[in-house]
Structure 1
Amino acid sequence: MHLDHPETYPQRHAPALSAPDPRPDGRRRALRVGFGGPVGSGKTATVAALCRLLRDELSIGVVTNDIYTREDAEFLLRHAVLPPERISAVETGACPHTAIRDDISANLEAIEDLEEAVGPLDLVLVESGGDNLTATFSRGLVDAQAFVIDVAGGDKIPRKGGPGVSTADLLVVNKTDLAPLVGADLEVMARDAKAQRGDLPVVFTSLAQADGIAPVATWVRTRLAAWTAAA
């Protein structure tokens, strides 16, 4: 059976932030932001860069997800992006979808433990284990989600779509400095991302540059401001 591919795509809409539920002690809970994306796209490096930039202005915790190891958490610890007590690791034991979308109990417990141990927190970053273009977070786990892809996969990635590319609150096209080396056309990626996402935001980043994380940090600050106002 042939599938037609029309020139236009359905309009995408970001869900509005709901008012944050208070913690049992009455304090406002942290904004939870998920970062997903394929293996090697730069999710952990993006989370690390955000922590370095925002740690002096916000109280941050991080929960990482790996299938059988704690490699991503250990990366963050080695690079001292946050004190060790602010970083927690979840070993999913299965496809990352299991722990971030289907059965989120382990991640919720890790977040609650962080808030109990070092809270109150302003922001919790939840990093998914590496997956393909289908990984999305349950809205019961995170309040907003970013999806990270990189140009090394080719400029066809936004065109391939998938729920991560099409519906995440933010699409991050990472490693733009590699575009000339792999023959990726950033204008094509921007065009195809726009076609897939409508008005949902897309940012292009290169963490090899000193201010490469700035567009993602601006988006996080904007979401946090809306979250705080809703409280």
Structure 2
Amino acid sequence: MLDVLLAAATLGVAGLDPAGAAIAVAALAAGARERHVLVFAAVVLLGTAGWGVLLSMTLGRQLDGFAWTRLVPPDGAAALIELSVAVALLSWAAVRWRRPDARPPRPGGGRTGGAGLAVLGAGFALTAVLDPTFVALVVLAGRDGSAATTVTAHVLWIVVSQLPLVVLAAAVLRGRHEGAVAWFQRVLARWRPLLAAAGTLALVLAGGVLALDVAWWVASGRFLVLPGLAAGG
């Protein structure tokens, strides 16, 4: 369980996305009610986590249940999955390195009503499938096979990756969002390049560690980083 949660936290840092908070800030600035912004945040956070759990428990389980041993040696399927995730993460890191502002497509803002923000939040949650770090977690958590681990991993990922939105929602709950909005705008303007670089570095770290784990399996027949991916693990 701990190996998957560590992967979820690392992928969350790699997928750190201020877009959700930016939409909430824009909505507040446009006159949206605090409770409507909280609905948006709740739909984004719970919806994304639920969407990830559903995908891991269905597609991830089906992937795990496929008769891989007809094609590859025991544990070879886990190595192939881990290598595929590593390649995807490193490829996304290369894109981010060349274009630091590159982000998964997200729905635009501009809505201030409760229903509109709820729909926007649902769309935001669904577009998580366009984020390579989310897809990587879907595969890894589904391979683990534990419902508790899967739920915890996806909750951890969304909290870390949407930490700016979580902080803003907490400020709204406490009635201190005006200062939080001003602070967020200043921080985003000043630290966006550094945050982008940190996310890219986390992608390289996550992808590199997984690639090294595959190399270790090739050399020794054992996984070090994600032993739970092994057959029967």
Q: TM-score range by the shorter chain?
A: under 0.3
TM-score (norm 2): 0.24
Higher RCO by CA contacts (8 Å cutoff, separation 6 or greater): 2
Q: Which one has the largest radius of gyration?
A: 2
Whichever structure has more strand as a proportion of its residues is 1
